Amino acid sequence: MSSRNVGLDTPSRAAAVVLYAALLAMQKRAVELGYAAPENCVATAATSGVTLTKVPREALIDAARLILNAEPLVEAVDYISIASRETMEELEFVDSAAGGAVLSLAACVGGVRLIDNIILEANG
C-alpha cells in the first residue's frame, strides 16, 4: 500500500479506486475513437467503422472527468495529463503510430492527494 493511502479512512480508500477507473475510461475512449493498441486495434477500429487516427486529448480528459465527478469523495482534481512516452510533453492528440502516451492524474480524496498513471501502448 502506498504511503499516501495509509492516510485514507475506509470510505476514502474504497473511493480511491476511481483514479484508476478514470485512467481506464480514458484508455477505453481512445480505442472507441479509433486509437489502435497492438492487442485490440484492428478488430476494434475496423468493426466500428471508425477511421480517426489521432484522438483529441479533450475527448480523453472528458472521459476521465465523467468518472471522477461521479465520486462524491473526490474533493478536487489537480491534473489530468496526456503526455508523450518519450518526452513527457503534453500531447494535443494521441496517435498510436507516434509512440503511445502516458495517461496520468492527481486528485484529492479524503484529504489526501493521490496520483496514478497508465501507459497507452503504441501500435506495434
pLDDT score recorded for residue 101: 94
Q: Which domain holds residue 108?
A: 5-120
DSSP-assigned letters across all residues of 42-84: HHHHHHHT----EEEHHHHHHHHHHHHHT-TTEEEEEEEEEEE
CATH number at residue 64: 3.30.1300.10
pLDDT score recorded for residue 6: 77
pLDDT score recorded for residue 45: 45
Question: Residue 19 in 3-state DSSP?
Answer: helix
C-alpha span between 35 and 122 (Å, rounded): 9
Output the CA torsion sign for 7, 11, 16, 17.
Answer: positive
Considering its fold, how many domains does the chain have in total?
Answer: 1
Output the CA torsion sign for 88, 89, 94, 96.
Answer: negative
pLDDT score recorded for residue 115: 97
pLDDT score recorded for residue 3: 59
Which residues are CB-contacts of 77 (< 8 A; sequence separation ≥ 6)?
65, 68, 105, 106, 107, 108
pLDDT score recorded for residue 104: 98
Count the neighbouring beta carbons within 10 Å of the beta carbon of residue 111: 11
Per-residue pLDDT of the chain (124 residues; tens, 9 = 90+): 455 677 899 999 999 999 999 999 999 999 888 886 544 444 344 445 544 468 999 999 999 999 999 999 999 999 999 999 999 999 999 987 778 899 999 999 999 999 999 999 876 4
